[in-house]
Amino acid sequence: MSRYVLDTNLYIAATRSEARERELEAFYILHTPSLYLHSVVAAELLTGAIHPALEKRTHRSFIAPFEAVGRIVTPSHAAWRRAGSIIARLIRVGALHPNGVKPSFFNDCLIAASAREHGFTLITENERDFELIGRVEPLEFTAPWP
């Protein structure tokens, strides 16, 4: 059975559109036992929740349910190392400029490395970044909704 982690962009889309929220809920209903929250995604979601009410709602809706059942994916030291290596390899092959690495891209590398380490499929709409990562690091990702 496949196990999934969802990228931050899918949660954000669900907060901005009722149709996208229904898609996310439908996926949750079908795949609840296979879903995990990545701790980097939780951090990114909370980073954007700048108002106290939004922070509370973000935690209640997207983070607390996974915490309650112990389904959080947290990067290991090896995943942190691998994320740094991914960026170094992309710079070496000319796919990235050393001064052009955004924190969000490093987060994507960290999500990819730890998802791979734990055998998760990442679901994302950010195919561009994950295809770039895939040039130097094998990873399993898919567009919504498998």
Domain of 51, CATH number, reads 3.40.50.1010
Closest of 68, 13, 66 to residue 37, by C-alpha: 66
Q: Which residues does 113 contact at the CB level (< 8 Å), separation at least 6?
A: 75, 78, 79, 80, 82, 83, 86, 137
Domain count across the chain: 1
Q: Which amino acid is at 78?
A: A
- Strands of the sheet with 35-38, listed across from one edge: 72-73, 35-38, 4-6, 121-123, 141-142
**Structural domain span for residue 77:** 4-142
The pTM score is 0.92
Helix (H) or strand (E) holding 141: strand 141-142
| pLDDT for the residue numbered 1 | 76
Cα 44 from Cα 24, distance rounded (Å): 18
> Does residue 146 have a pLDDT over 90?
no
Cα–Cα distance for residue pair 113/141, rounded to 1 Å: 12
Q: Mean of the pLDDT values across residues 11-24?
A: 94
CA distance 40 to 108: 9
**Stretch 35-42: mean pLDDT:** 97
d(CA 97, CA 23): 36
State the chain's mean pLDDT as an integer: 95
**Do 144 and 35 form a contact (C-beta atoms < 8 A)?**
no
**What pLDDT, on the 0 to 100 scale, is given for residue 125?**
96
pLDDT, tens only, 107-137: 999 999 999 999 999 999 999 999 999 999 9
DSSP assignment, residue 120? P
Q: What is the pLDDT of residue 135?
A: 95
Find the mean pLDDT for residues 45-64. 94
pLDDT range class, residue 65, cuts 50, 70, 90: very high
